[in-house]
Chains A and B, each alone.
Chain A
Amino acid sequence: MAGNPLNDGLRIEPTPGNATLVIFGASGDLTRRKLLPALYRLSRGHRLPARFSAIGIARTNMDDEGFRKQFRDSLREFAGVEPGDDIARSLAAHLYYLSGELDDPAVYQRLTARLQEIDGADGVLFYLAIPPSVYGTVIRQLGAAGLGGRTSEGWRRIIVEKPFGTDLTTARALNAEVHRHFEEEQVFRIDHFLGKETVQNLLVFRFANGMFEPIWNRRYIDHVQITGAETVGVERRAAYYEGAGALRDMVQNHLMQLMTLVAMEPPIAFTAESVRDRKIDVLLSAQPLVNNGRPNVVRAQYAAGWVAGSEVPGYCREPGVNGSSTTETYVALRMQLDSWRWAGVPFYLRTGKRLPKRTTEIAIQFKQPPLQVFKAASPSSVSPNLLVINVQPDEGISLRFEAKVPATRMQLAPVMMNFRYGTAFGGPVPEAYETLLLDAMLGDPTLFARHDFVEASWTLITPVHEAWRAEAAAALPQYEAGEWGPKEADAPMAADGRRWRTL
């Protein structure tokens, strides 16, 4: 019996071969908040392999039992799982922990021994849930311990968290370091936006429907607005955020990914390489964001204000932030793609912290019909057609079109047709980390960033940072927390005869 004869026609989605997950940074926030709950949900949904184990590694002194307790605590706190839950108990028995300094080769010897003790795993997935400053150390140590590269003993893969570099030079250096010890097909650079169902559905929406693609171009689309709005401030991440800012934290990765999915040409097949080849084409067609030393990016920082009924301090008053910080918490920019399909269609991207609403969306605004037939009867209309892809929190797709108001002679009003992911199919929508962990175990990199994407994205972003460094710091505008960004962000839109959507 070669393949599994019982899998034919089984409605359950594929499960990976037996695997061990090694989490570097097992005592950290990401592990507790996202990774452990994702493992639990995967187990509950029968998506983990028959033989699955996880080994956590960090400096904090803990034994296996301590890690299992942390697992149960994080399930209670972040997944609402009751103590005594049978699935949690069963999964906990397969969790192990090693403590030590990540630059200590002995840790990797102990890891190798543990991996050998765990019987029957077909492969090992390393997850770097650690500060970026130690990515290189762990990658080198894994290589030195013979745990990188491909072996005949089973697959080995590595997930690298964001941020992947801080500019083009560091991203290239990190890629080079990774490639010294792992082949590209073993490397999974995570961008959790890509794990979201709506983002995947964007490909289906575009390429499984015959009716959208013919109008998905410069002849019918006026412009695209991509917004990533957060209500939170810098919270406890000041140390990281001070060196990052909104352009690095949100645009270089998440918003660029969304833009490429909207703008890419159809792939020849739904395979990782074909999809990722078409995405990189988009970035390569983008005009530089800096012209004659002037960056076409509006940046700003939040001042004190009110969000969700609470008074909040300005960014410079946040704990851990330098009082005269020039780190931007908001950016707005206009991307122009020099491609046959998109020439002349601007892609406006904006993101910010302490905005009035938490929402990420892509809004595609269509051109007005060539003739305004109803203008005389309904002068206030007509609103252009709008397609909105809600990425979070309320995943779905909405289409706005004009309709006649009943019992009027010819009064028009815009109406929305909504597709809501959460309710349409009557089942839970998986969290991004579930999808991505599973895909990495299955060896499918479609939803992960390839090395050239990361570098092409930094190629666009790094000159902006360089230009900002050369500018006077006093130029940084402020916006009141709880408002939709600075008024400076409206000017480039107004110059094009457009406005940001009020969300």
Chain B
Amino acid sequence: MENAVNDAGAGAQALTATVIAVGPPGRLDDPAATLGQLTSTAAIRGILIRYGTHAEPPTRTSERFVTLDGLRPEYINNAVAALRLSSLPSIVWWRGGDEADLEGLAALADRIILDVEEPLPVWRAAVPLVERTSLGDLRWTRLTRWRALMAHFFDIAEVRAAAPLFHRLDITGADLPAAGLFAAWLTGALQTSERMHVDLQRTTGAPIQRIRVGNGREELMLELAPNGTCVHTAAHVEGHARAHRTVSLGDQSTTALLAEELRIRSRDAAFEAALRRVVEARSDET
């Protein structure tokens, strides 16, 4: 009765998603490596579409990886429509291009993960799309640990009691848009946007270096350790003994961040709210 096939090894692996990385040529080297790695370690199909000048670009296909080299951007929707599988969720990893194309992609993709250098124009274009697809941003993914560490402080009753008196938020780091997103999330969640003075300082090095929130006497602080992989956390709040810890920032590689995104399929209300606040706050800028 048994074993005509080797049950453990044989057979097709059940897939969980199609991930489509889209962007201009210079922006797709990292994604190519990341997708290559993910298709071998996670159960996904990977598709890489580099922009160029061809209506029918050269295509390379292996078992679970398709590369389109040099597609004219105006054909991106057609390409995605042809390559997606109806049976699997399609996740677009947007590494740049014309923001106007996002609207068409939103109709085809179950999720769009933004990942561009200058995010403000893309974020503006993305806000109206939140009702049509599930949106994410790798900058936001990178903030997950920082948000969790900040949230940990608020498990302490004394910190929650002191929070209405916090009026200063200082964030330093190399990635000001990410810092802005964090500030928008924190002030929104604490409902302190009106009175909170937010100071974002650009430094070199890590995207986020230090986050401090407080009122002069009381302070919560998260600071990247010199090794770049851990965060020192410190809470100094009335009625609560000073608490220091060193915790891991987790794996911040693009592969790990993307893997985290692949686990999420539903809308991310916290991200959408933060995105709206950032876009509204900077509506006067062009």
Which residues from chain A sit less than 8 Å from chain B, CB to CB? 1, 4-12, 15, 17-18, 43-46, 49-51, 86-87, 89-90, 119-120, 383-384, 386, 388, 390, 394, 397-398, 400, 413-420, 423-427, 498-503
Contact = CB atoms under 8 A, between A and B. Distances in A.
B260 A427 contact: yes
B4 A6 contact: no
Interface string B132-159: 0000000000001101111111111000
Contacts of B44: 426
Contacts of A46: 145, 148-149, 152, 247-248, 250
Contacts of B271: 9
Contact of A420 (B13, B151, B262): B13
Most central of A5, A44, A417 by chain B CB within 10 Å: A5
B194 to A, nearest CB: 16
Contact of B246 (A6, A8, A89): A89
A8 B14 CA distance: 32
A361 to B, nearest CB: 9
A355 to B, nearest CB: 15
B150 A86 contact: no
A417 B12 CA distance: 5
Given A1-B163, A394-B8, A10 B151 contact: yes
B151 A498 contact: no
B147 A502 contact: no
A416 B7 contact: yes
Given A419-B14, A423-B41, A4 B155 contact: yes
12 contacts: A4-B155, A7-B151, A10-B144, A10-B270, A11-B264, A87-B247, A400-B5, A419-B13, A420-B13, A424-B43, A426-B43, A498-B1
Contacts of A89: 246
Contacts of A6: 147, 150-151, 154, 186, 189-190
Given A4-B160, A5-B189, A10-B148, A90 B16 contact: no
B203 interface: no
Binding site secondary structure of chain A: loop
Interface string B208-250: 0000000000000000010101100000000011010111101
B5 A49 contact: no
Contact of A87 (B148, B230, B259): B230
B117 interface: no
Contacts of B264: 11
On chain B, which size bracket covers the interface?
A: 35 or more
Nearest to B10: A416
Given A50-B152, A423-B43, A499 B7 contact: no
A418 B262 CA distance: 19
B121 to A, nearest CB: 25
B37 to A, nearest CB: 9
Given A87-B230, A383-B4, A418-B12, 20 more contacts: A4-B160, A9-B271, A46-B152, A46-B247, A46-B250, A50-B243, A51-B243, A90-B230, A120-B156, A120-B240, A120-B241, A390-B8, A414-B4, A415-B11, A416-B10, A418-B10, A423-B13, A424-B13, A425-B259, A501-B3
A397 to B, nearest CB: 8
A90 B245 contact: yes
A71 B189 CA distance: 38
Nearest to A497: B1
Interface in B238-286: 240-241, 243, 245-248, 250, 256, 258-260, 262-264, 268-271
B38 interface: yes
A426 B38 contact: yes
A422 B11 CA distance: 16
Most central of B151, B189, B263, B268 by chain A CB within 10 Å: B151
Contacts of B11: 398, 415-418
A50 B234 CA distance: 11
B225 A86 contact: yes
A50 B155 contact: yes
A426 B227 contact: no
